[in-house]
Amino acid sequence: MVVMRWQSNAFTGVAEFDPDEKGYAALERLLVSEVRKPVKMLVDIIEEDIRLEVSPHLIGRDRIAMQQRLKNRFFRQYTHTYLNVQGRSRENRRNDLVFLSALTNPKLFQPWLDVLQKTKISFEGIYSLPLVGEALLKTLGATKQNALVVSQQVPSSVRQSFYAEGKLKLSRLAPADDESGEWHSILKDETNRTVRYLENQHYVDTKKKLHIYVIAHSREIDNLNSELRSDTRKEFHILDKDRLAYDLGVKSMVPGQYSHWLFAQLLLSGKYRKPHYYTHADRKYFYHYQAVRGMWTTSVGAAAILGIWSTALFLDGYSLESKRDSIIAETDKYQSLYEEIVADIAVLNLKIDDVRNAVDIANKLQKYTNKLPLDYIKIVSAGLARHPRLEIREFQWLNTDDSAHSFGEDKPVLDRRMQAMIKMGRATFNYEKVLINAVVTNYQSNPRIAVEEVQRFINDLKNFAKDIEIKVIKMPFDVDPASRMVGQSQSQNTTRKNSDAEFTIVLVRQEEYQM
């Protein structure tokens, strides 16, 4: 177990512990004395089983059920499993490419988890080093190609991870002994063995080169360049781990020839938020940590809001206090004016009912203000200017709210709803009416000329006043008995028709008021 202290994007300390009672006790002391924030565990072990499966593309509950069946099929007996859908199959777009993995030997890491539980440390979960390595491909520029990344975290083995288009497909730990003078030769043989396996399993196309990235200490680069030769099937890239760390933004480097701290940098940089392996029991104290942090954040936010609100209330109160004297002075002024007005009214000796009735009448008259016949005179004058043959004999203007009133025109028909509203006093109508009685002169004793002249006059009035309705009571030479005006006898009507080309029209403007 290697414990790495991380602060401000830099490593500030490293400690190592053996997997025995002494090591567990030393780790417990370190956790109790120094650790206050959540911790992560990065594993690089041979007992990590990886499977690739193809399953139908499903959504919703069916997708969840299918994934659970795949886990049970391969890793039913293990508690720390991982599943990820890496995309769609190229051969059949209706199928998903599913990556599954599991930690098959919990005895390797469970004692360390027990120490974390005992010290009540907030534990986020376990992260797989090969899976974390996916974040390295962007820096290497290998997200669109087949890549084999070779790294060494411990003296006894070398990690070889194969990625296709940025996704992990295969990873193995090959034996290595860096204290032996044949280490470079062993590395070459193990790499060639891995390449042949990838070709036999059709992970890679033999017609395309496989890019192999070897992460090594600067002192090993020359020997590796001479030992590992590129050919038509594979191309080697020997990477200086210190230079790679600089490209990843590590501010301080941990001394040593191994690369575990390089993958720790990828993990701690925030690329991976959700762990690959965990149980709810593992993360119990992490959930407590999140709850406490959430409540603390909420409390700080509430305190900030209360502070702002209190400041606003204080400023508002201070502003009102500064205006108090002026408000009191203005109140005294209006109080004096009120008393003067009340004193003047008291002299008049008015009765309350009379005042109330006067107010009600004024309110009713208010809606009829500015109602004058001037507009109608202008409209009729404009019409007469275009028709010199017409002579006005009678002009009456009326402003009323009586819907039953008629100069002889048809009375307006109100629906039941409006009648009910009028009866309840919730609505009323105002009518402005103009009665025009006129004659046509110089029509050459031709009734058709007289009728046409009157019709043109009516059409002009409609153009001059769009909101006024024109109703014809009588046309020249109209012999219909129903056309005579109200109160006019049959003999009077017949005599008038015989002597003049007389006509009568009514202009009506209707306005509705709702209470």
**Total count of residues recorded for the chain:** 515
**Alpha carbons 44 and 173: distance in angstroms, whole number:** 9
Closest Cα partner for 116 from 24, 17, 22, 42?
Answer: 24
Does the CA dihedral 365-367-370-375 come out positive or negative? negative
What domains are there in the chain, each with its CATH number? 2-47+105-282 (3.30.420.40), 372-514 (no CATH)
Task: Tell me which residue has tokens 């129903």.
Answer: 482
In this structure, are residues 15 and 3 in contact, taking their beta carbons and an 8 Å threshold? yes
How many CB atoms are closer than 10 A to CB 204?
A: 21
Closest Cα partner for 270 from 6, 470, 472?
Answer: 6
pLDDT tens-digit profile, the chain (515 residues): 889 888 777 777 788 899 999 999 999 999 999 888 899 999 998 899 999 999 998 888 988 999 899 999 999 999 999 999 988 887 777 888 999 999 999 898 899 999 999 999 999 999 999 999 998 888 888 888 899 999 988 888 889 999 998 899 999 888 876 555 567 778 888 888 888 888 888 888 777 888 999 998 888 888 888 888 888 888 999 998 888 888 877 766 656 778 888 888 888 876 567 899 999 888 888 888 889 888 988 889 899 999 898 888 888 888 888 788 888 888 888 888 888 777 766 666 667 777 777 777 766 666 555 677 888 888 889 888 889 989 999 999 988 888 788 888 887 777 788 777 777 777 777 888 899 999 999 888 899 999 999 999 999 988 888 888 899 999 998 655 454 444 444 444 444 444 479 999 999 988 877 66
Closest Cα partner for 41 from 258, 267, 306, 370?
Answer: 267
**Alpha carbons 460 and 456: distance in angstroms, whole number:** 6
Give the phi and the psi of residue 16 in degrees, each rounded to 5.
Answer: -120, 145
At 364 the pLDDT is 64
Task: Tell me which residue has tokens 């690369």.
Answer: 259
At 182 the pLDDT is 67
Paired tokens of 169: 């497909």
At 24 the pLDDT is 92
Paired tokens of 83: 């599943």
At 49 the pLDDT is 93
Q: 97 in helix, strand or coil?
A: strand
What does pTM read for this prediction? 0.59
At 217 the pLDDT is 84
